[in-house]
Amino acid sequence: MDKFIGLVGTNSSHSTNRQLLQFMQKHFADQATIELVEIKGLPMFNKPDPDHKQIPAAAQVIVDKINAADGVIISTPEYDHSVPAALMNALQWLSYGVHPFVDKPVMITGASYGALGSSRAQAHLRQILDSPELKARIMPSSEFLLGHSLAGFSPDGELLDREQCNQLEGLFKDFLTFVKITKQLNHAHESNAKEAANFSWEDK
């Protein structure tokens, strides 16, 4: 059975994106193990001395979890047409001298209080994950957009809209297939990891 990391893409203590990942953790328990990982304990990124690339212990814990996982599911809210600053902050730490996302299968989901369900934030997150420092393998054509998310869950955490639940079930099955395919696309992994490790905007 595959093991996934469910990265909560916010530092909010009360987030429907956490609820969405908790639902997935429970709903797909017979298909994969999903461990929820929080980013709210990370300090603000302030580029350390490039000769001594030391990331915070909390960031290293996340790095180790991603390295050991078969894939990552990120659920992001949308603030000002973008991902939250806390999520960008986390991804900066997770690509500073460490590269757990290189060729790692990633599924993006999102929940928001409005009607659009974090569509712009998901597009922005795809750009970030595709950057030279991260080089993630993002599942294509796979937006899951939970709009009006405050009314989206029952008191016991179930997703109320049957049609959306069906869509999520289909996308999750696709992600399982995507993970299997990605594991076979490993011939350039060593080169990709080296390229990410050696990349510097200052050399451009």
What pLDDT digit, counting tens, does each position of 98-115 carry?
A: 999 999 999 999 998 877
Q: Tell me the pLDDT tens digit for each residue of 128-165.
A: 999 999 999 999 988 898 888 988 899 999 999 999 99
**CA-based angle 139:140:144, to the nearest 5?**
80
How many CA atoms are closer than 13 Å to the CA of 161, on its beta-carbon side?
Answer: 14
For the whole model, what pTM was predicted? 0.93
Domains of the chain: 2-203 (3.40.50.360)
| Contacts of 152-155 spanning 24+ positions with Cβ under 8 A | 152/16, 152/19, 152/111, 153/16, 153/19, 153/23
Contact indicator for 21, 73 with CB cutoff of 8 Å: yes
Q: What confidence category does residue 203 fall into, taking pLDDT thresholds of 50, 70 and 90? A: low
Strands (E), the chain: 2-8, 32-37, 71-75, 105-111, 137-138, 144-146
